[in-house]
Amino acid sequence: MTNDSGGYLVTKKYSYYVFVLLFLLYMFNYMDRMVVVSIFPFLHDDWGVSDTKCGLLVSAAYWAILIFSLPFSVLIDRWSRRKTISIMAIMWSLATAACGFTKSFSQLFTTRAMIGIGEAGFAPGGTAMISAVFPENKRAAIMGIWNASIPLGSALGIALGAVIAEHFGWRYAFWMVALPGIFVGMIFYTIKDYKTVDLTKTERTNDSQDISKQMKLKDILFQFTRTRSLVLTYLAFAACLFVTTSLMSWLPTYLHRMEDLSMSQAGIKSGIVMMLAIVGAPLGGYLADKWRTTRVNARLVFCAASSLVSSVIFFVAFSFLSGTPQYILMLFGGIAIVAFVPAGAAVTQDVVHPGLRAISYSICVVVQHILGSSTGPIVIGAISDAYDIQTAMLILPGFTVIAAVLFMLGSLYYEKDLAAVEKVTLSVEE
């Protein structure tokens, strides 16, 4: 029972049961993370919070994630996926509920950081679980469906948050989205996990015998510093996440100001744009895996192509259009902007030792949050304060061009890096 040979680690039915729980948790993760953007105008009215400070509330969670993601991923890889994910889901949900009780900006900033601490290891742990329970040749396609939960959760968090805040008050928005994660987090504690993988490597002796040796610290570090396709994928992710996080954070405000919409209308329209990534992520994963049957490095080449398409779409939308034509083009942008995610995430699992998969994705998370997610909302907020929201949004297409170049460079090294990966058989815990 090993996914490395093309089969399922557990039964196919049970694999999809685990997947559904992970999908729901990722959706609740982003609902809790992004609900705050729907209450920016309310915070401005109640507490006089500036756009820059509003951006800080988004970045607070990402800063906490980038600080704690790597140590938590070590815990995930070396201890337990199910236990760690369950505990984290309950923790971030409780922190979200606590946001509704805050009395000042500093208190809200602190609770937002606590959400990030709770969410820090979820994406690496979930990625490692999916890589284990599904066959390698379906990895990008399954990742695509799983990552569709990100725009779905973001859209629901933004849209529901705006409606709830407008009708009942912004504190209720936090309380309502916090409840589901606690329930599903408790269920996840009961699933089957795979046994922790020994960190060994195969070496050939002078008499042509293959022996297994324990990996040293330098061997582990080399996995993440000398695998060029991996390093370039990390950097490309950061450039893309600068754009996607900025869009999730500021598109409602952009529509509110530029189209003179109420915040609930702007939140719903923005949510629809983000929700269309439900099409983009699975489609991207499917196309990348399909292409990979004829081209080994197709996952990274596809990421480069989809990033370039996204750049063109948003450049035209923000530069030349307004009203309905602009919004229609943004809908296509919502499909294209996340198409890279499943194939890129699959690469972070493809080219590393199976015992280091959570750590590999956590490094991707750290890099993308330092250079992308945590900086994007602040940069856009600061440019908006200095100039206007229109000018701020115009910088975003340039970052997807950078991502396209990095993904394409990574594709040049992918096949060699893949061939060097240690082959390990996974098994289920008793």
Q: What is the pLDDT of residues 366-375, one digit of tens each?
A: 888 788 887 8
pLDDT per position as a tens digit, 195-243? 766 676 666 555 555 566 777 778 788 888 889 999 999 999 999 999 9
Q: Are 69 and 365 in contact (CB under 8 A)?
A: yes
pLDDT given at position 2:
42
Other beta carbons less than 10 A from residue 337's beta carbon: 30
pLDDT band at 412, cuts 50/70/90? very high
Asked whether residue 125 is assigned to any structural domain, the reply reads: yes
Share of the chain above pLDDT 70, in %: 92
Question: What span, in angstroms and rounded, lies between the C-alpha atoms of 136 and 423?
Answer: 12
pLDDT given at position 217:
75
pLDDT band at 5, cuts 50/70/90? very low
Q: Are 342 and 284 in contact (CB under 8 A)?
A: yes
395 pLDDT exceeds 90?
yes
Highest averaged pLDDT of the listed ranges 123-127, 195-199, 215-219, 420-424: 123-127
**Domain interval for residue 110:** 7-192+227-419
Query: The tokens 């994963």 sit on which residue?
Result: 285
Q: Which of 317, 327, 282 is nearest to 400 (CA)?
A: 317
Can you name the residues that pair with 210 across neighbouring β-strands?
A: 204
User: Up-side HSE of residue 252: CA atoms within 13 Å toward CB?
Assistant: 35
pLDDT given at position 196:
66
Nearest 5°: CA angle at 25, between 407 and 237? 15
pLDDT given at position 374:
76
Highest averaged pLDDT of the listed ranges 73-77, 255-259, 274-278: 255-259
Share of the chain above pLDDT 90, in %: 41
pLDDT given at position 324:
94
Question: What span, in angstroms and rounded, lies between the C-alpha atoms of 80 and 33?
Answer: 24
319 pLDDT exceeds 80?
yes
The mean pLDDT value of the chain amounts to 86
Q: How many domains does the chain have?
A: 1
pLDDT given at position 92:
92
Asked whether residue 219 is assigned to any structural domain, the reply reads: no
Q: Are 281 and 337 in contact (CB under 8 A)?
A: no
Q: Which of 208, 167, 166, 178 is nearest to 112 (CA)?
A: 178
Asked whether residue 426 is assigned to any structural domain, the reply reads: no
245 pLDDT exceeds 80?
yes
- pTM (predicted TM-score): 0.76
Look up residue 240 and give its two tokens.
Answer: 């893309």
Question: What span, in angstroms and rounded, lies between the C-alpha atoms of 392 and 378?
Answer: 11
pLDDT band at 320, cuts 50/70/90? very high
Asked whether residue 1 is assigned to any structural domain, the reply reads: no
Asked whether residue 208 is assigned to any structural domain, the reply reads: no
pLDDT given at position 1:
35
Asked whether residue 395 is assigned to any structural domain, the reply reads: yes
pLDDT given at position 314:
97
The CATH number for 69's domain is 1.20.1250.20
Element (H, E) at 311: helix 298-320
pLDDT given at position 70:
83
Q: Which of 251, 253, 371, 368 is nearest to 314 (CA)?
A: 251
pLDDT given at position 301:
97
User: Could you give phi then psi for residue 257, rounded to 5 degrees?
Assistant: -85, -45
Asked whether residue 429 is assigned to any structural domain, the reply reads: no
Write the burial class of residue 385 (CB in 10 Å: 0-12 exposed, 13-18 middle, 19+ buried). Answer: middle
Q: List C-alpha distances in Å: 182 to 36, 94, 348.
A: 19, 8, 29
Q: Are 419 and 297 in contact (CB under 8 A)?
A: no
Q: Which of 257, 300, 237 is nearest to 391 (CA)?
A: 257
pLDDT given at position 28:
93
Asked whether residue 264 is assigned to any structural domain, the reply reads: yes
Other beta carbons less than 10 A from residue 191's beta carbon: 18
Contacts of 183 (CB under 8 A, 6+ apart): none
Question: What span, in angstroms and rounded, lies between the C-alpha atoms of 196 and 201?
Answer: 15
